Chain A
Amino acid sequence: EIVLTQSPGTLSLSPGEGVTLSCRASQRVRSNYLAWYQQKPGQAPRLLIYGASYRATGIPDRFSGSGSGTDFTLTISRLEPDDFRVYYCQQYGSPPYTFGQGTKLEIK
């Protein structure tokens, strides 16, 4: 099973700032099959990025993904108030399709 470790656990930032979230895999993610989701507590996750760097339908270009192998990042530029949520990475290259433990963005 591939273990995904996200860092940091929580980030305190201000609207307008930019941020880069990290997701590190315990072994290589096949074909860079890595996705990022955003979730507000009590709501369904929302797909942001798939294939490490491809934005899902309707996702603004403030969100970008990069990385390969075992190290992946999600970058959000110009944070808006609605961006302060929990972000999860997921690998889907090898079953079981594991998720990271999440990074919470909170308003400073």
Chain B
Amino acid sequence: EVQLVESGGGVVRPGGSLRLSCAASGFTFDDYGMSWVRQGPGKGLEWVSNINWNGGSTGYADSVKGRFTISRDNAKNSLYLQMNSLRAEDTAFYFCARGTVVGDYWGQGTLVTVSS
């Protein structure tokens, strides 16, 4: 069974940093690209970033470019999102999804709240 479990969310002050993790199981992790998608409270979905199978190619939404960094460790079956210079508008549930452009499996999400 495919499982994706996010962690690392929490409350952080504007300008602060957080690192999200996504632990994958139930499939061959390095066969797949991965993505992060976020959803503000009561809002729609926003694609944030993606990474190919070996980390050699990454993409970012303009809203996070230069502040967020996606990475992966295939030996640990894990996906990461380093978030720096956080803003109030980054407050959202962050989901990891299997796939570079279409998410066929998603985790349950981790909540990031940016507030002073």
Give me the interface of A with B, judged by CB distance under 8 Å.
33, 35, 37, 39, 43-47, 50, 56-57, 88, 90, 92, 95-102
Contact = CB atoms under 8 A, between A and B. Distances in A.
Contact of B102 (A43, A50, A101): A50
Interface of B: 37, 44-47, 50, 59, 61-62, 95, 101-109
A34 B108 CA distance: 23
A100 B44 contact: yes
B4 to A, nearest CB: 8
Contacts, number: 47
Contact of B47 (A50, A57, A97): A97
A95 B100 CA distance: 11
Nearest to B109: A44
A89 to B, nearest CB: 10
Contacts of B108: 43-44
